């Protein structure tokens, strides 16, 4: 018997997610390039997983699956509004039909709308919670029975440093809802640990993804891309934003059997930003 098998880990050099089936919500990209969801999908497939790539925009999901297929990986593209319970049920059923099981669930959907307590309407507040937190409950509620029946699984939820610090514009609802993702993840981690289900969180900081050019520049710098890039690069102690691959590698660890004794954990991927922010 090899040392690796005694330790309960695959042999050295084996794909880190060999034989795993993944349901990844938010697997497309806003604009051209590689966003967090697309990077996770590609990386997970490179490490041997079959990936169900879900996005509101089917074309974005199909672009991700095409990139995976070009590298010889296996993936299917699905479109869904994940804030709707019937849509969640449909994509869970489709993933099970395609792969037979769901070993890993990644909740990567989210977005921010600026506003403080006085400026933000109740309607926007509720939409932000639906967009960032409510769907996490819906997806886990649908997938947890599958994982319990299988005898285990891993859930990786995406939060934000906005849930830890005030790092810029007023993002009241975004910060509150992303804090909720962290609290919900802790509850799931404790409740389902006896069933072999782990639940962990990746907390990205300022990442240079297509979202910066496609959306944030218009929201926060009047469309001046160079200005917002320079401002965001200046904030972390490392002197630059991270990228989608930084997020993807953190998620890969938490999803893999390398983290088999890790649950309820939060990995901050922010270049030291929260350490220097009061």
* Catalytic (active-site) positions: 174
- Cβ atoms within 10 Å, residue 245: 16
Q: Strand order of the sheet with strand 266-269?
A: 74-79, 50-55, 21-25, 104-107, 153-158, 197-204, 266-269
Residue-by-residue DSSP string for 207-263: B-SHHIIIIIHHHHSTT-HHHHHHHHHHSSTTSS-B-HHHHHHHHHHHHSGGGTT--
**Exposed e or buried b per residue across 127-151, where buried means at least 16 C-beta atoms within 10 angstroms of its C-beta:** bbbebbbbbbbbbbebbbebbeebe
User: What distance lies between CA 64 and its chain's CA centroid?
Assistant: 15
């Amino acid at each position: 018997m090899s040392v690796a098998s005694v330790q309960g880990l695959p042999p050295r050099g084996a794909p880190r997610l060999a034989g795993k089936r993944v349901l990844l919500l938010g697997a497309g990209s806003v604009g051209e390039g590689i966003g967090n969801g697309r990077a996770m999908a590609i990386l997970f497939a490179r490490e041997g997983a079959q990936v169900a790539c879900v996005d509101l925009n089917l074309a974005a999901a199909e672009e991700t699956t095409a990139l995976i297929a070009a590298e010889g990986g296996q993936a299917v593209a699905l479109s869904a509004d994940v804030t709707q319970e019937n849509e969640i049920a449909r994509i869970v059923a489709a993933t099970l039909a395609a792969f037979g099981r769901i070993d890993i669930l990644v909740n990567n959907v989210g977005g921010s709308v600026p506003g403080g307590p006085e400026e933000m309407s109740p309607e926007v507040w509720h939409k932000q919670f639906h967009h960032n937190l409510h769907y996490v409950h819906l997806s886990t509620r649908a997938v947890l029975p599958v994982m319990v029946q299988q005898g285990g699984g891993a859930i990786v939820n995406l939060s934000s440093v906005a849930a830890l610090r005030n790092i810029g514009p007023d993002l009241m609802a975004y910060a509150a809802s992303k804090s909720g993702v962290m609290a919900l993840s802790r509850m799931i981690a404790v409740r389902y640990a006896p069933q072999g289900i782990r639940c962990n969180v990746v907390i990205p900081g300022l990442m240079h993804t297509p979202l910066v050019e496609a959306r944030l520049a218009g929201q926060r710098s009047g469309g001046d891309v160079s200005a917002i890039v320079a401002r965001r690069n200046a904030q972390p102690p490392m002197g630059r934003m991270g990228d989608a691959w930084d997020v993807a590698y953190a998620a890969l660890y938490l999803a893999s059997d390398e983290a088999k004794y890790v649950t309820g954990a939060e990995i901050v991927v922010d270049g030291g930003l929260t350490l220097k922010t009061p």
